[in-house]
Chain A
Amino acid sequence: MTRARETLQKLARRKGAMLGLACVVLFVLLALLAPWIAPHDPLATSWGAIRKAPSAAHLFGTDEIGRDVFSRVIWGARASLLAGIVSVSLSLALGVPLGLAAGYIGGWTDALISRFTDAMLACPFLILAIALAAFLGPSLTNAMIAIGISATPIFIRLTRGQVLAVKTEDYIDAARAVGNPHLRIALRHVLPNVVSPLIVQATLAIAAAVIAEASLSFLGLGQQPPAPSWGSMLNTAKNYVDHAPWMAVWPGVSIFLLVLSFNLLGDGLRDALDPRHQ
């Protein structure tokens, strides 16, 4: 427990990381409290307020069918955060056990898992996600599955590398010598010692997943209209950039801020958890 506290203290001293954390918390609150904060229904169209510039009634203006952009940006935080967290949880759930098995068991298991990981890493991340989303069919759920699977090989490789390093430590030999079964050694002695780099990677992967969800939605493969998502809002906004630029500005700023926050937090965590920085 003292180690966790030490890490938190180190993290708290990093201004960038704290700024990132505050921003993430703000977005989470926006997403959770969307029904109460958003001034308008994000789906309500108004033919009398089509592509209206920002005003007191509509802070960020209105879109091509008179919906309030501010309300849609707030509700859009849900799709982005959900995609970031769910897809990275999926990558962790798939990647960590596979990496642990490859590193701990070794031999043919390792060879098989590692070659498959190489094959997945050879396909560019977004192109693989697009292909998966295309075959699964366009929806937010499928986009999250596609992003989660595409990000899995990074976690397999990271876990495997860490496990290989930890496996040679004396305390693992000791655990084996006193007769612990392999599964117990892998879960109780190896896994807890490889968690730090996984936390860092997961935070940075959320940033990448948020961009990936926005990209898939921008291409029409993620959140389907009329449900609000920053990526799909930008897809529509692209067609009205000459007459209603405000439609394009705010969803983009939101993606940028959320991704930047996770990147800052991830960088801060890396510095705080990496023993070389101590």
Chain B
Amino acid sequence: MGRYLARRVASILPTLFFVTVLIFGLQQLLPGDPAVILAGEDRDPNVVAYLRQKMHLDEPFLVRYAYWLGGVLQGDLGESLRIQKPVTELILEKLPVTIQLAVMAMLFALAIGVTAGIVSAVLKDSVWDYAANAFALWGLSTPNFWLGIMLILLFSVQLGWLPASGYVSPLEDLKGNLAAMVMPAFVLGNAIAAVLMRHTRSAMLLALSADYVRTARSKGLAGRIVILRHALPNALLPVITLGALEFGTLLSGAVLTEQVFTIPGFGKLIVDAVFNRDYAVVQGVVLFTATVYIALNLLADLAYFLVNPRMRV
């Protein structure tokens, strides 16, 4: 156990190293002198000179990378030039909003995706199976920002049931917060529900054809108990670990969803930073998401290891 753990944790180090190289390397793509670009419209020579010195632009690439990495290792992702705040602070400020959105979206995705997956596997080749497959195809092919606009049209403009925007913190007004978040969460969860449905369906089909399910059936257990007690727990294991890997889709989707519903989260932070040419924020956000993704991946592996005794041999 200890050795596996150590090996698995050690294996993420080279990946993290390459992630930092990749993200720092993005800066090299800027056409022209970064200091001049970052100095904005007026290109004040004093500002340019200050930025040059601050970003160590006169040093070679490797030296600049070393300076930057040194900061990153101490939790310093640089400073937003527009908002004049440390990037880490900005990220931590916006994170709770996106976490709430992501958690609500995942709940929608699990509720819809897993249910549809079970139904379509148990009733294979029935109308329900076809409907669930059509739903998955719909979920995978719908751009979520368009779905968001269409839901605003229906529920906000036509029916007037839900607000089209206007995020409030749950600490201030929980009801208002949920009303503002339910549509974005559904929109974001939709695509992931489709993926989870496909995973659940194939995992359930596999579980239903397994020997232990046949044994359970042959000793006379009711169909419902066989499905819920015997097949489902075994089928859900890979689904849950795969769910952790959908985190990337969740964050990519959050960028668009937050833009449609004007939610002041993580996604809005990166889009605003892109348009303000606040490159340190863009780099910080990408680095942060990649690190979280790698950490989640590791946790999913460890969870799998812990619940699956065969892995421990």
Q: Which of A123, A131, A215 contacts B256 (CB 8 A)?
A: A215
Q: What are 17 A-B pairs at a CB distance below 8 A?
A: A122-B19, A122-B297, A123-B19, A126-B252, A126-B256, A127-B251, A127-B286, A130-B270, A135-B27, A218-B145, A218-B256, A234-B149, A238-B149, A245-B153, A252-B149, A259-B140, A263-B137
Let me know if B142 and A127 touch, CB within 8 A. Answer: no
Q: Which of B30, B153, B255, B293 contacts A241 (CB 8 A)?
A: B153
Q: Does B26 contact A (CB under 8 A)?
A: yes
Other A-B pairs, 20, CB within 8 Å; known A135-B30, A136-B31: A116-B18, A119-B18, A119-B290, A122-B297, A134-B279, A135-B27, A135-B29, A207-B140, A215-B145, A218-B143, A218-B259, A245-B157, A248-B146, A248-B150, A248-B153, A252-B143, A256-B141, A256-B146, A259-B143, A263-B141
Tell me, rounded to whole Å, the shortest Cβ–Cβ distance linking A201 to chain B: 15
Let me know if B22 and A123 touch, CB within 8 A. Answer: yes
Q: Does A128 contact B (CB under 8 A)?
A: yes
With both beta carbons as reference points, the residue of chain B lying nearest to A129 in the complex is identified as B252
Query: What 6 pairs across the A-B complex have the smallest Cβ distances?
Result: A119-B18, A126-B252, A252-B146, A124-B248, A260-B141, A134-B274
How far, in angstroms, from A256 to B273 measured CA to CA in the complex?
29
Let me know if B286 and A115 touch, CB within 8 A. Answer: no
Let me know if A118 and B285 touch, CB within 8 A. Answer: no
Interface residues on B, range: 35 or more
Contact with A along B1-34 (1 / 0, CB 8 A): 0000000000000111111011100110111000
Q: Does B271 contact A (CB under 8 A)?
A: yes
Contact with A along B58-98 (1 / 0, CB 8 A): 00000000000000000000000000000000000000000
Q: Which residues of A contact B181 (CB under 8 A)?
A: none
Q: Which of B17, B252, B282 contacts A124 (CB 8 A)?
A: B252
Q: Which of B22, B153, B256 contacts A120 (CB 8 A)?
A: B22
Q: Which residues of B contact A220 (CB under 8 A)?
A: 275
Q: Which of A115, A127, A252, A264 contacts B252 (CB 8 A)?
A: A127
Q: Does A172 contact B (CB under 8 A)?
A: no
Let me know if B141 and A131 touch, CB within 8 A. Answer: no
Q: Which of A130, A207, A245 contacts B255 (CB 8 A)?
A: A130
Main secondary structure of the interface of B (DSSP, over half): helix
Q: Which residues of B contact A260 (CB under 8 A)?
A: 137-138, 141
Of residues B19, B253, B291, which shows the largest number of chain A Cβ atoms within 10 Å of its Cβ?
A: B19
Let me know if A124 and B22 touch, CB within 8 A. Answer: no
How far, in angstroms, from A71 to B269 measured CA to CA in the complex?
35
Q: A127-B255, A219-B259 are in contact. Are A122 and B290 (CB under 8 A)?
A: yes
Q: Which residues of B contact A127 (CB under 8 A)?
A: 248, 251-252, 255, 270, 285-286, 289
Q: Does B152 contact A (CB under 8 A)?
A: yes
Of residues A135, A215, A218, which shows the largest number of chain B Cβ atoms within 10 Å of its Cβ?
A: A135
In A122-153, the 8 Å CB interface with B consists of 122-128, 130-137
Q: Which of B18, B30, B145 contacts A234 (CB 8 A)?
A: B145
Q: Which residues of B contact A252 (CB under 8 A)?
A: 143, 146, 149-150
Q: Which residues of B contact A200 (CB under 8 A)?
A: none
How far, in angstroms, from A166 to B259 measured CA to CA in the complex?
45
How far, in angstroms, from A130 to B251 measured CA to CA in the complex?
12
Q: Does B294 contact A (CB under 8 A)?
A: yes
Let me know if A130 and B22 touch, CB within 8 A. Answer: no
Let me know if B143 and A123 touch, CB within 8 A. Answer: no
With both beta carbons as reference points, the residue of chain B lying nearest to A142 in the complex is identified as B29
With both beta carbons as reference points, the residue of chain A lying nearest to B142 in the complex is identified as A256
Contact with B along A211-255 (1 / 0, CB 8 A): 100110011110000000000001001100110010011011001
How far, in angstroms, from A248 to B290 measured CA to CA in the complex?
33
Let me know if A132 and B26 touch, CB within 8 A. Answer: yes
Q: Does B260 contact A (CB under 8 A)?
A: yes
Q: Which residues of B contact A245 (CB under 8 A)?
A: 153, 157
Q: Which residues of A contact B200 (CB under 8 A)?
A: none
Q: Does B249 contact A (CB under 8 A)?
A: yes
Let me know if A207 and B141 touch, CB within 8 A. Answer: yes
With both beta carbons as reference points, the residue of chain A lying nearest to B15 in the complex is identified as A118
Q: Does B283 contact A (CB under 8 A)?
A: yes
How far, in angstroms, from A115 to B12 measured CA to CA in the complex?
9
Tell me, rounded to whole Å, the shortest Cβ–Cβ distance linking B95 to chain A: 15
Q: Which residues of A contact B152 (CB under 8 A)?
A: 241
Contact with B along A19-59 (1 / 0, CB 8 A): 00000000000000000000000000000000000000000
Tell me, rounded to whole Å, the shortest Cβ–Cβ distance linking A137 to chain B: 6
Let me know if A241 and B149 touch, CB within 8 A. Answer: yes
Q: Which residues of A contact B249 (CB under 8 A)?
A: 124-125
With both beta carbons as reference points, the residue of chain B lying nearest to A126 in the complex is identified as B252
Tell me, rounded to whole Å, the shortest Cβ–Cβ distance linking A176 to chain B: 31
Q: Which residues of A contact B22 (CB under 8 A)?
A: 116, 119-120, 123
Let me know if A123 and B290 touch, CB within 8 A. Answer: yes
Q: Which residues of B contact A126 (CB under 8 A)?
A: 252-253, 255-256
Q: A115-B14, A127-B286 are in contact. Are A221 and B137 (CB under 8 A)?
A: no
